Amino acid sequence: MNFNNSEQLYKKGCEHLVGAVNSPVRAFASVGGNPLFIDKAKGAYIKDVDGNKYIDLVLSYGPMILGHRNKKVEKAVSRALKKGYSFGASTNAEITLAKIVCDAFPGMDKVRFVNSGTEAVLSAIRLARAHTNKDKIVKFSGCYHGHMDAMLVAAGSGLATLSLPGSKGVPAQAVENTLIAEYNNLESVKAHFEKHNDIAAVILEPVTGNMGVVQPTDEFIKGLRKITKEHGVLLICDEVMTGFRSKFGGAQEIIGIEADITCLGKVIGGGFPVGAYGARNEIMENVAPLGGMYQAGTLSGNPIAMAAGISTLTELKKQNPYNKFNVVAERIEGFLLKSAKKYGVALTVNRFGSMINPFFTATEVKNFTDAQTSDTSKFAKFFWAMIENGVFLPPSQFEAWFLSSSLTIREMKKLEIAIDASMKLVANSVN
């Protein structure tokens, strides 16, 4: 496979971009080599600037749930473009998307659109503090909630990929109200509740994607909902990845809980920059202009992004691909486990709906400590072998693979062959 054009763009990109990327996970730092530069994508496939074509399991880290350039979304975006790109004033499209989102989440009467998942979380945390008049936030190690200062502690995603415990440039005061607990360990939360009476909220990815895919046990998630209610502490579900992806009503619909505040992003923008946070009226009424919690944005509710979101969610509801996702993910899990067994590679596979990923460890992965037992050098070899076999994966052991409704039996056959060849290479290069 030839990557000459990507190599050249990488060198050129390094002159004026940091590491030639605009987000560190894209830098291939933990798998070695230089990032691929993308030319275009369609359906289940993505093509790099050297003309190499891959089945895309990155899907822009989640948003492209219908595959790339869905015809209906393209039409809706083109129509919106003809009317203007940004107005700095309200539009009917915002009301339409707000209704679709609030109807999907029973715990949400009102929603505020922002431009990214990071913005959604930082606003949700401010809102929780405004509503409770308390400051502390309980966060779980391995959960990633974007790059606001207070959440860059024991975070997954890029920090885990780069093996960074936290970020430079975050003042100690910015994280002194962040309390860290262990995912799937209710006792670790109770310990904080016993010690502190100024906790505003507990935030979590109800199913994680940023330390790889990890599901909560029923006891953990139901217990968390119960004790937060008992203590008058808000439960914030960061469903930036899982919202509309696991199910139309997010992971909450599957695991049977209702958050006090839900954060969304990715799928709700259909590939355009959108985030959102929403809650019951009594909570959202704290937000300006109704209340005294300030949060704003020039491009928030951007008409093009709203059009993409409305058409993506409308099409998603029509396709209802959630059963298909389970079947496809189960088959991919089967391919991974079968080839790992065949070649004697220790492997654990976690999946939830259309999110799946293998951990190169024999340990069952229930939290960040378990996830970190993965052999990341094996993942790096697997990653490049998959590239050579025409599959684009996130360049990190700790990022979920995403499925789109564009995958067909044809891609499944290719995936089976690619996984088998890549696992063989991992086994051979280790032994």
CA–CA gap between residue 202 and residue 47 (Å, rounded): 41
Residues 38-67 that bind ligand HOZ (CB under 6 A): 61
Q: Is 54 a catalytic residue?
A: no
Segment interacting with ligand HOZ, rule: CB under 6 A, options 22-30, 120-128, 182-190, 360-368: 22-30
Residues 6+ apart with CB under 8 A from 416: 335
Query: Considering only CA atoms, which of 15, 19, 55, 12 is closest in space to residue 35?
Result: 19
Kindly state the smallest distance separating residue 167's Cβ from ligand HOZ, in Å.
Answer: 13
End-to-end CA distance of the chain: 25
- The H-assigned helical ranges of 232-321 are 250-255, 281-284, 303-319
CA–CA gap between residue 405 and residue 328 (Å, rounded): 10
Tell me phi and psi for residue 117, to 5 degrees: -65, -40
Other C-beta atoms closer than 10 Å to the C-beta of 296 total 9
357 contacts ligand HOZ (rule: CB under 6 A): no
Marked catalytic residue, from 238, 260, 370, 375: 238
Kindly state the smallest distance separating residue 398's Cβ from ligand HOZ, in Å.
Answer: 8
239 contacts ligand HOZ (rule: CB under 6 A): no
CA–CA gap between residue 265 and residue 270 (Å, rounded): 9
399 contacts ligand HOZ (rule: CB under 6 A): yes
Kindly state the smallest distance separating residue 158's Cβ from ligand HOZ, in Å.
Answer: 5
158 contacts ligand HOZ (rule: CB under 6 A): yes
164 contacts ligand HOZ (rule: CB under 6 A): no
Among 157, 246, 312, 354, binds ligand HOZ (CB under 6 A): 157
Segment interacting with ligand HOZ, rule: CB under 6 A, options 19-27, 31-39, 85-93, 279-287: 19-27
Residue (43 or 142) nearer to ligand HOZ, CB:
142
Judged by CB under 6 A, the number of residues near ligand HOZ is: 9
Marked catalytic residue, from 134, 136, 139, 266: 266
Q: Is 266 a catalytic residue?
A: yes
Query: Considering only CA atoms, which of 356, 319, 270 is closest in space to residue 63?
Result: 270
Q: What is the CA radius of gyration of the chain?
A: 21
Query: Considering only CA atoms, which of 376, 388, 397 is closest in space to residue 421?
Result: 388
CA–CA gap between residue 209 and residue 231 (Å, rounded): 28
Kindly state the smallest distance separating residue 157's Cβ from ligand HOZ, in Å.
Answer: 4
Residue with tokens 């209702």: 258
Kindly state the smallest distance separating residue 212's Cβ from ligand HOZ, in Å.
Answer: 10
Kindly state the smallest distance separating residue 69's Cβ from ligand HOZ, in Å.
Answer: 20
260 contacts ligand HOZ (rule: CB under 6 A): no
Residue (210 or 252) nearer to ligand HOZ, CB:
210
Which tokens hold the place of 179?
Answer: 């309390």
Q: Is 103 a catalytic residue?
A: no
- CB of 6 closer than 8 Å to CB of 38: no
23 contacts ligand HOZ (rule: CB under 6 A): yes
242 contacts ligand HOZ (rule: CB under 6 A): no
The neighbouring-strand residues paired with 278 are 111, 262
Residue (134 or 145) nearer to ligand HOZ, CB:
145
CA–CA gap between residue 257 and residue 275 (Å, rounded): 21
210 contacts ligand HOZ (rule: CB under 6 A): yes
Closest residue to ligand HOZ: CB criterion: 23
Residue (159 or 287) nearer to ligand HOZ, CB:
159
Residue (26 or 126) nearer to ligand HOZ, CB:
26
Stated as kind and residue range, the H or E segment containing 19 is: none
What is the contact surface with ligand HOZ in residues (CB under 6 A)?
23, 25-26, 61, 144, 157-158, 210, 399
Q: Which residues are catalytic?
A: 144, 238, 266
